[in-house]
Amino acid sequence: MPIYNAPTKDMAFILHEVLKTQDLDIKGYDDLSADFTSQVLDEAGKLARDVFQPINASGDAEGCTLENGVLRTPTGFKEAFQTYREGGWNGLDCDPEYGGQGMPYVLHTAIAEIFCSANMALTMYPGLTHGAYSAIHAHGTDAQKQTYLPKMVDLEWSGTMNLTEPHCGTDLGLMRTKADPQSDGSYKISGQKIFISAGDNDMTDNVIHLVLAKIPGGPDGVKGISLFIVPKFMVNDDGSLGDRNGVSVGNIEEKMGIHGNATCVMNYDDATGYLLGTEHKGMRAMFTMMNEARLGVGMQGLAQAEAAYQNAVEYAKDRLQGRDVTGTKNPDGPADPLIVHPDIRRMLMNQKSFIEGSRAFTLWGAMMIDRAHGANEEAAEGLISLLTPVLKGFNTDIGYDMTVQAQQVFGGHGYIEEHGMSQFTRDARIAMIYEGANGVQALDLVGRKMPKDGGKHVMAFFEMIKTFASENKGDEAFEADFLTPLKEASKDLQSVMMYFMQAGMKNPNDALAGSTDALHMFGHVVLGLMWAQMAKTSMDALAAGTDDPEFYENKLITGRYYMQRWLPTTKAHMARAMSGSTNVMGLDADAF
Amino acid sequence: MPIYNAPTKDMAFILHEVLKTQDLDIKGYDDLSADFTSQVLDEAGKLARDVFQPINASGDAEGCTLENGVLRTPTGFKEAFQTYREGGWNGLDCDPEYGGQGMPYVLHTAIAEIFCSANMALTMYPGLTHGAYSAIHAHGTDAQKQTYLPKMVDLEWSGTMNLTEPHCGTDLGLMRTKADPQSDGSYKISGQKIFISAGDNDMTDNVIHLVLAKIPGGPDGVKGISLFIVPKFMVNDDGSLGDRNGVSVGNIEEKMGIHGNATCVMNYDDATGYLLGTEHKGMRAMFTMMNEARLGVGMQGLAQAEAAYQNAVEYAKDRLQGRDVTGTKNPDGPADPLIVHPDIRRMLMNQKSFIEGSRAFTLWGAMMIDRAHGANEEAAEGLISLLTPVLKGFNTDIGYDMTVQAQQVFGGHGYIEEHGMSQFTRDARIAMIYEGANGVQALDLVGRKMPKDGGKHVMAFFEMIKTFASENKGDEAFEADFLTPLKEASKDLQSVMMYFMQAGMKNPNDALAGSTDALHMFGHVVLGLMWAQMAKTSMDALAAGTDDPEFYENKLITGRYYMQRWLPTTKAHMARAMSGSTNVMGLDADAF
């Protein structure tokens, strides 16, 4: 039976000692005292451990079922969802006007990691609802907000996002779902959507589908797409539920993981829909939620890595196998624990140093979103917009690899389902794909975000590193261990950017062929910066005197691991990214 | 429905143009004319495509069942197995004295890849039988060979290997299964074995279990382990089957993949066993099969990558999504095929260039085994022994990654089971674990194989590269594209070896902490050599004039991709491997 304990101490360290949220002048941050957040994180941790995690493996084995049009989630999901609902967790960062608690997004993100580590499939039901809430909150009319938001904040109703169709995923311009205008101002929606996460459930009274569709006569391609609210049950004027709408679940997909979440084929047959936002501006409406949604998926990569890591550590300490070559560590036992072996350590340190760095990155990113939304700071908006594809692509690519390494620590016991290690990798795998496959993230980074506003945000990013380095120089060990490798990796990344600009001008493929390498370089440089910041914080804490010196010393050791064993990867990425596109594009398609 | 077509042309190229097997003075190689091998490969390809592959996905979905002690393989397995049996495929490289065809191991390896690509779970039943055959052939008495081998060659009976117990996998010295000597010279075997692949089936009349166990009073640890033949049904003197022996399947494991292969808990309750080889020398007997067994698992990594790749290519050519940024390629369609996009190409080229290099490595390795066995060449034995952990660890690590990338090409369609891409990754995952987890391979490489015989075999390896480079210099483009990067990567690997020798002398962990990095460096250097050889062969063919210039030109393009986009990875591995062990070992176990 897998374990999970929320890493609340590490979260508090990032929030209060590294980011110093309590001192920042961002809307809602004055509420974030260390005492308060610790209490919230602890409560979430208990619920995750005691209620969400125990039904994670059983939910995977059981999956969802569809019989006579009725969708059933796995045993226990309904009760756990109800507990989550009653705890008000879904409304934590929602607008108080609609029943939310108005907390910052950064706290929501920490909490979301906890629940996602414990049970990703279950957490996706409120997760999708939260996304739909945000869209309606940002683009809905007052009447729409009054009708839908209080019940979605409260999780009486859930929500979904309907983009993909059988013949179009990334290329939404090919969309065929139609929205015919009706005389009463509503629309009749017809078409088929696939891969709809949390597409239906037996836990909420209504499901509010947000559906992208085309109004006939509108512009071609993505410029003619509009966004609609399509409730499963019609909503009467008094808020009570009316007839069933013309939307139904056609099928539940058999898939590699997240079996507890119903991935649905949704059929719309003259379903009544209501325009959300402006006609033909549906893509823009979706994009305003993009940074949050993608950060949320990046967090899933981190969350599955954390859950897998905790179990790998436990196993490595318990399982007796072989002897420490430098001297027996467990002389009274038949063998030493796995954790004495350097290659086992290597895997655990890979995971630990990535996870802690990635968590800092993710919470820093959430803070940037708070800054951008709460204070309309353009620079923060630019920076988080630049780094969103990195948050999504890097965290899920490496997060997945870390679940695979955690599984590897178990040997054969990692391959059987009994220990739950297979589930972590199978669940984590989807995060590399949905909300824009990671190749699309790389394209977004290199093709759109880097050149945006004349490269202003990229320059701001490098400036941030430079500033940190110049403000913190002077300590020889810190420079050698952290600043020098960070500056070098940052310089290498700049060389790649420069190469992309110059070579890409002549042949865009020279840049695009290296886009994934650039995304990964970016990720490592950001995590290098995060580790340098965490190391500095730790050194300062040690210098100031602390009653928990081990915590800070361990941070320094883990940070040095990142700088010495993860960061050199950038050299390989650089060589690849700057090798041009002839090697990638040289073959005729028929030669594959 | 996934597709599979055996890459017979590529295999023939490696066998006959690169390795030139037909010209070599190795036992059995004079049979290997190009016409003959092509015919055999084509026949295997047809059987794999028409009989094995169509039941791969259904076998995964259905799995094996155990009811009242009777194990059932998935629908269609029995018939496919029978067809394979009747074709005499299992005996291809077996001893003619026992009904085999006496072909070289190199041909067996090519054939095994084909069947494994089409259906890994099914192919493992004859695969395990082949391993047990080899053990009995190498260590059995004449009577044992006469009793078991003809029926195992013919697949009337199958075989298994029983090593792992619940509390010991890698550390077999902890083994508890007992073998009590009986007055008639037999033994009573008692204990439990787990993770026994192909542990039972409904396709063969008998199952011959090879079981490691301890004879009471023998030496402690691995030096007191003996190997036993334990048939499922007792065999009468006339070869007919007698009573059921005291061995039974306790359970079938639920696992991540290879569902069509029964991974069994085997219970031995006073089962009658017969000593195979010498008392207490069971480990040595197992080890004589190790090179073959590990090469065979390495081949599985390659085989799953090939199957996944073929489907990714098909999808990338068919699926219309987005437009080529350098100019529309499919103006009459609603979008261009995925294959126009550089990042899709990058993933396909990663796969293609790895697979073809890995296939050359694997077949070269099989040839070394033929050379070592057929001609007792000590140098070949040393070289293949050195590279066996690389063949196993590198091919399965990267092979797995390539199945993940192939899955990624499908986007969301790769995550659902419908297209079969999930199965390739789930099946491939086990190859990183069994037959010695890849961390154990790295330990074997660095701790045992490299220092063996005073480093003689490592030096022979580097000498091989040096010789190739000096024999083929002169062509400027070839030097720049292939020889220079190969020599540089080889030099970097030598630096790592040197560092391991020096630092490892003082602290073995300094070497062991970098063992996996060294294994991967080794793999890339070998594949760099393979690509340099294939490129040279291709250049020669083009220079000599050929009616298929595209084939050779494409080899050069693919080879350059490997050198420019895979080989730079060695730089990162080198930096990590030479960073010492403080970063890896610095934390107290409690700090994880």
CA distance A39 to chain B (A): 23
Say which DSSP state A267 is in.
E
* A439 → chain B, closest CA residue: B343
Q: Which candidate from B254, B343, B443 shows the least CB-CB separation from A439?
A: B343
Per residue in B180-233, pLDDT (tens digit) is: 999 999 999 999 999 999 999 999 999 999 999 999 999 999 999 999 999 999
Q: Which candidate from B169, B325, B572 shows the least CB-CB separation from A411?
A: B169
Report how far apart, in Å, the C-alpha atoms of A482 and of each of A532, A534, A551, A571 are.
6, 10, 18, 17
Paired tokens of B16: 């006959």
Which residues in chain A have their CB less than 8 angstroms from residue B313's CB? Answer: 592
Pairing of strands A187-196, B264-275: unpaired
* Interchain contact, A418 vs B253, CB within 8 Å: yes
Which residues in chain B have their CB less than 8 angstroms from residue A513's CB? Answer: 342-343, 345-346
Q: Nearest Cα to B197, choosing from B266, B246, B274?
A: B266
Query: How crowded is residue A184: how many other Cβ atoms within 10 Å of its Cβ?
Result: 7
* Interchain contact, B512 vs A263, CB within 8 Å: no
d(CA A307, CA A301): 10
Query: How crowded is residue B281: how many other Cβ atoms within 10 Å of its Cβ?
Result: 17
CA distance B241 to chain A (A): 34
* A176 → chain B, closest CA residue: B334
Q: Nearest Cα to B435, choosing from B265, B293, B301?
A: B293
CA distance B451 to chain A (A): 16
| CA A258 and chain centroid, separation | 15
* Interchain contact, A584 vs B565, CB within 8 Å: yes
* Interchain contact, A342 vs B513, CB within 8 Å: yes
pLDDT of residue B259: 98
Residue A375 confidence (pLDDT) above 80: no
* A194 → chain B, closest CA residue: B412
* B519 → chain A, closest CA residue: A343
Mean pLDDT, residues A144-153: 98
CA distance B580 to chain A (A): 9
Which residues in chain B have their CB less than 8 angstroms from residue A253's CB? Answer: 416, 418
* B581 → chain A, closest CA residue: A342
Which residues in chain A have their CB less than 8 angstroms from residue B405's CB? Answer: none
d(CA B559, CA B354): 9
Predicted ipTM of the assembly: 0.97
Mean pLDDT, residues A514-524: 98
Paired tokens of A284: 């823009």
Active-site residues of B: which are they?
435
Contact assessment for residue A345 and residue A440, using Cβ atoms and an 8 Å cutoff: no
Residue A1 confidence (pLDDT) above 90: no
CA distance A433 to chain B (A): 6
Which backbone phi and psi does B251 adopt, to 5 degrees?
-170, 155
Q: Which candidate from A346, A404, A416 shows the least CB-CB separation from B255?
A: A416
Report how far apart, in Å, the C-alpha atoms of B173 and of each of B100, B177, B210, B265 are.
35, 11, 17, 20
DSSP string of B385-409, one letter each residue = HHHHHHHHHHHHHHHHHHHHHHHHH
Low-confidence stretches of chain B (pLDDT beneath 50): none
d(CA A159, CA A204): 10
Q: B560, B583, B585: best mutation site toward chain A, by most A Cβ within 10 Å?
A: B583
CA distance A346 to chain B (A): 6
pLDDT of residue B563: 98
* Interchain contact, A317 vs B575, CB within 8 Å: no
* Interchain contact, B509 vs A561, CB within 8 Å: no
Residue A376 confidence (pLDDT) above 80: no
d(CA A43, CA A39): 6
d(CA B73, CA B201): 6
| DSSP-H helix ranges across B141-202 | 142-153
d(CA A442, CA A435): 13
Angle between the N-to-C axes of helices B484-506 and B515-544, in degrees from 0 to 180, rounded to the nearest 10: 160
At A208, the pLDDT band (50, 70, 90 cuts) reads very high
pLDDT of residue A303: 98
Paired tokens of A478: 């810190």
* A319 → chain B, closest CA residue: B167
Per residue in A431-480, pLDDT (tens digit) is: 999 999 999 999 999 999 999 999 999 999 999 999 999 999 999 999 99
DSSP string of A143-196, one letter each residue = HHHHHHHHHHHTTSEEEEEE--BTTBSS-GGG---EEEE-TTS-EEEEEEEEEE
d(CA B115, CA B90): 11
Which residues in chain B have their CB less than 8 angstroms from residue A317's CB? Answer: 589, 592
Q: Which candidate from A407, A561, A581 shows the least CB-CB separation from B583?
A: A561
Which residues in chain A have their CB less than 8 angstroms from residue B343's CB? Answer: 439, 442-443, 512-513, 515-516
* B342 → chain A, closest CA residue: A513
Paired tokens of A226: 């509009």
3-class DSSP state of A74: coil
DSSP bridge pairs for B229: B210, B274
d(CA B217, CA A461): 69
Q: Which candidate from A171, A335, A508 shows the least CB-CB separation from B335?
A: A171
Q: Which candidate from B170, B339, B447 shows the least CB-CB separation from A321?
A: B170
d(CA B101, CA B93): 6
Q: Which candidate from A254, A345, A575 shows the least CB-CB separation from B584?
A: A345
pLDDT of residue B136: 97
Which residues in chain B have their CB less than 8 angstroms from residue A507's CB? Answer: 326
Which residues does B344 contact at the CB level (< 8 Å), separation at least 6? A439, B316, B338, B409
* Interchain contact, B326 vs A589, CB within 8 Å: no
DSSP string of B284-327, one letter each residue = HHHHHTHHHHHHHHHHHHHHHHHHHHHHHHHHHHH-B-S--TTS
pLDDT of residue B347: 98
Catalytic residue among A17, A113, A356, A435: A435
DSSP bridge pairs for B189: B179, B271
CA distance A425 to chain B (A): 10
pLDDT of residue A46: 98
Q: Which candidate from A400, A416, A433 shows the least CB-CB separation from B253?
A: A416
Report how far apart, in Å, the C-alpha atoms of A383 and of each of A292, A375, A391, A456 are.
13, 14, 12, 9
d(CA B207, CA B158): 5
The whole-chain average pLDDT of chain A stands at 96
pTM over 0.95: yes
* Interchain contact, B571 vs A576, CB within 8 Å: no
Which residues in chain A have their CB less than 8 angstroms from residue B341's CB? Answer: 439, 443, 512
Which residues in chain A have their CB less than 8 angstroms from residue B570's CB? Answer: 572
CA distance A142 to chain B (A): 35
d(CA B42, CA A50): 57
d(CA A249, CA A266): 5
pLDDT of residue A291: 84
pLDDT of residue A324: 95
